[in-house]
Structure 1
Amino acid sequence: MHVEFVINGDAKTLLVNDYRRADCVVIDCNINNCEGIFKTARRIGGNNNAAIVLGYNALRMGSWKCESFNAHLLPIGEGLLVTRRGSDFGVSEKKSRWIVKVDQCTGEEHVFRVRSPHGKV
């Protein structure tokens, strides 16, 4: 396993030229042009179809932008945007919803995805 943190340079150029085979890309949604960087990260090819793209601090973007990214916005911390690479990955046709429970003793957030039978939510 190899983990590399990159904080210098143009993010789009780095993704296309140097990190196109990354299995996971994490983007801070507080930076300028995070929408363009997120879309670029989704388009480039990874080692397999299970490669994911995460965006943290995503609540500032607004939930309406998640549809344009074909992604899930999870209510974790300041928002976590989650999608898979490839043209047909991301939000599926199946209906589901996210449930957030906060442990009153520890303050931990527990997030569950619940799929409804026969596409009903």
Structure 2
Amino acid sequence: MGSESAGREPSVNFGNISGNNTFAVGSHARAESHHVHHGGAGQLDDSAAELLKAVRDLRADLREKVRSSEQTVALDEALAETETELTTTGQATPTRRERLRELLTDSQALLTVLASAGTVAGLVGLRL
């Protein structure tokens, strides 16, 4: 290759990309930056941290203390989704909280048996 083509050779340069996926390749490329979560939680305020603990406690109680039913499976799935949302975004959306309120209302028997269910119910605004 001659020196004239050497100036047109594509090159790829990476800076410090720790914690981010940022790169660009080619003459018309545009770098995009996306924050990468490495298993760490989003910033949890005190109420979100309290809800996360209560959600985890209730999930454990559902596995260990309650016979599985269609109702408990649906509740556990909603709790798992809430846990994921809390750990990735640092909050549970109002829609997510409303879904938990609905499922806990449908599971009134659990509220009287499991203290953890009562805790989650209180934290998502369910009036007992």
TM-score (norm 1): 0.23
Q: Which has the higher contact order (CA 8 A, sep 6+)?
A: 2
Q: Select the structure that is richer in helix.
A: 2
Normalised by the length of structure 2, the TM-score is: 0.22
